[in-house]
Structure 1
Amino acid sequence: MTTPNTPPSRGELLRHLVTTRIAGLVATPREVNLRHYTELVEGNRRYWLGLDLGDRWKSAEDVLAVLAERAGVEADPAHRAGQDTIDPMRTLDGLDRMAALLRDAAARRSRVLVATGHPGGLLDVHRAIAEALRAAGAEIVDIPRGLRVTEGDDDTKGQVRQFGGVAVLESGATLWHTHAPQPMSAILDALKESGQAWPDLVVADHGWAGRAGQHGIPTAAFADCNDPALFLGEAEGTITVTVPLDDHIEDARDYAPMTAYLLATAGLTPRSR
């Protein structure tokens, strides 16, 4: 990889994912993962990320089994503390499946909504996706102006804005880290009220992705192993693709080779055409 924007080979990216801890031995503690799995099965909607999971998931062990299969976390329920993992091969496979959706969206000149609840980590990833899709002929949905979320926790409230084609939540002049689905609901409600069609595809994370998928919109999501709902949504067919990765590594610039690989695989960079 000569520059951050040069698409790496699959082998190069595999090594990069492990070296930067985007995958492999990730920073997320095992005890945090297990606590989130328990909160989800106990019905804490904060951990459902906008999905309606009902009472279908009976135990944290059931959730762990799905995360072991789809994200590559340690499968042994007796592993209760310390390090946890994301299988980098599953990250690569997820990127390939997401790339297929992006390629199809560009070919069909689809309406695509890109959003992130993790601007400190993934904003540049989403921005690059939006720019590449627009350049390839897809329509990046312009969200209606003046959208606000006024109810919920502190990380839910604020103005829903768009920067570089990416929808985010802003509060107090700060882009907000939020797991909430309410910002996506605000966008979809406003599109409907103004007579505009909903997106053909959503590329997002956290509750932005979950709520879009719950509404039946094809959704490609990035998710950390401590956000189990999107993996359960993929298992149930509500989320189209969920890419496992650490969603807030030490230096967000280290996502650039992954983004370059994704776009090149989707046929959205000059080198790959």
Structure 2
Amino acid sequence: MGAAASPPEFHPAASGHRGSMGAVKNGASADDALRDLLVERQLAGTVRTTRQQSVTYIERTLTGDPNYSFGLSDWQTATFDEVAAATKAVAGDLVTDGEADTGYISPECAIEGMYRHAAVIRPLVRSGEASILLATGHPTGLLEHYAELASALRTAGNRILRPLDDHRLPGATPTHAAGESGIRFVSGVGCAFDNEAILHTHLPDYMQAILAEAAASAQRIDLVIADHGMAGAAIEAGIPTLSIADVNDAALSLAHTRGRHEHILCIEDNFTPAQFTPVTEFILAKATGKPRG
């Protein structure tokens, strides 16, 4: 499953970025101010996603439950210790240590992820020649972020894809009967929906259907920007992907440390979109070279 190969001139994995995780620690004052804001808003630093929840999600990922494995196959050959180490590499915290009823994401890791996303988006908002697919399984927190990215990318001349818009899945998912739920694009961002409601989902089924349709209709996909199973299915299909992952989204962290997925942004994802606005503005400012806000 997947789509036609990316054109040779677009190589997101080769894009420049801030550097190693530790490099941000000695960054400019703008990074220091952003760090303080991330901690203040609990997007990084001490976060609401507890270590105990992260441990539980690792265990569930290793069962292959698609709500936690996100359509990625890495769980089949992974161990608990490997996944815990992957989470530490991405979030800067070993979830088996420390207080179980609190959680932690290194602000430096979060900022590094933001630089990585900006580095991939930068040539796209300047050349405007790519076909890009955005989707979210976390619409109440991240839809506005993706919509802002879609708007900037579209304005630059990129093609924002909408495969299977307003289409119901003919098959059942683990949470919905056949023909009950489907895909709807809102401001250029693919979401799962059921009747009038946009759904929160971890499942890969929706992105798998989108990618199958894109392949069948010969729609090239150069880049996916997504989270949860929307990101996992794209990574599994070998499509360059920018992902947002909370500290408990272990499958994405594992794919990252196994070298399948470079551009991961680890950050608390369950807040009102207004709390996330500085993240969006920072990424777009770094990508465009123009201050925002």
Q: Same fold (TM over 0.5)?
A: yes
Kept after mapping to 2: 8 A contact 1:116/1:208: yes
Aligned partners of 1:77, 1:201: CA distance in 2, in Å? 34
Task: Name the counterpart of 1:99.
Answer: 118
Contact 2:132 2:159 in 1 (8 A): yes
Of 33, 36, 50, the match for 1:29: 50
Match 1:120 to one of 140, 165, 172: 140
Unpaired segments ≥5 residues, structure 2: 1-28
| SS of alignment partner, residue 271 of structure 1 | coil
Matched, 1:62 2:85: no
**CA shift at 1:254, angstroms?**
1.1
Q: What is the total number of aligned residue pairs between the two structures?
A: 260
2:27 paired with 1:14: no
2:285 corresponds to 1:264: yes
1:54 and 1:29 mapped to 2: Cα distance?
A: 22
Asked whether 1:82 is paired with 2:101, we answer yes
Selected match of 2:256 from 231, 234, 245: 234
Q: For the Cα contact (< 8 Å) 1:184–1:208, is it kept in 2?
A: yes
| Cα distance change, pair 147–237 in 1 and its aligned pair in 2 (3 A) | farther
User: Normalised by the size of structure 1, how large is the TM-score?
Assistant: 0.89
SS in 2 for 1:77: coil
CA contact (8 A) 2:70 2:251 kept: yes
| Alignment gaps of 5+ in structure 1 | 1-7
The separation in 1 between residues aligned to 2:87 and 2:229, in whole angstroms, is 18
Distance 1:117 1:219 in 2: 15
Aligned equivalents of 2:95, 2:164: Cα separation in 1? 46
Checking the alignment, whether the CA contact within 8 Å between 1:147 and 1:187 is kept in structure 2 is no
Aligned pairs (5 A) from 1:139-178: 139-149=159-169, 150-154=171-175, 158-178=181-201
**Superposed displacement of residue 162, structure 1:** 0.4
Q: CA separation in 2, counterparts of 1:154 and 1:169?
A: 12
Decide which of 130, 133, 137 is 2:150's aligned counterpart. 130
**Is the CA contact 1:234–1:240 (under 8 Å) kept in the aligned structure 2?**
yes
2:86 is paired with a residue of what secondary structure?
helix
Measure, in 1, the Cα distance between the counterparts of 2:95 and 2:162.
45
Runs of 4+ in 1 over 3 A off after TM superposition: none
Matched residues in 2 for 1:201 and 1:21: separation?
29
Asked if 2 retains the 8 angstrom alpha-carbon contact of 1:9 and 1:261, the reply is no
CA distance in 2, matches of 1:57, 1:155: 29
SS of aligned partner of 1:189? helix
SS at match of 1:121: helix
The 1:195–1:19 alpha-carbon spacing in structure 2 relative to 1, beyond 3 Å, is same
Q: Take 1:155 and 1:113, find their aligned partners in 2: how far apart are those partners?
A: 24
- Give the secondary-structure state (helix, strand or coil) at the position aligned to 1:46: helix
Shift of 1:190: 1.2
Compared CA separation, residues 32 and 135, structure 1 to 2 (3 A): same
- Cα distance in 1 for partners of 2:49, 2:65 equals 20
Preserved contact between residue 155 and residue 180 of structure 1 (Cα < 8 Å): no
CA contact (8 A) 2:165 2:184 kept: yes
Aligned partner (choices 209, 228, 235) of residue 186 of structure 1: 209
Deviation track 1:190-218 (CA, whole Å, cap 9, x = no partner) reads 12222322x10000000000101111100
SS in 2 for 1:216: coil
**Which region of structure 1 is more displaced relative to structure 2, 30-39 or 41-50?**
41-50
1:140: Cα distance to partner? 0.9
Percent identity between matched residues is: 32
Secondary structure, aligned partner of 2:184: strand
Which amino acid is 2:182 matched to? Q
Q: CA RMSD in A?
A: 2.0
Q: Is 1:244 aligned to 2:244, yes or no?
A: no
> Hey, what's the Cα distance between the residues in 2 that align with 1:17 and 1:123?
19
Distance, in Å, in 2 between the alignment partners of 1:170 and 1:152 is: 12
Q: Give 1:78 shift.
A: 4.4
The residue type equivalent to 2:202 in the other structure is H
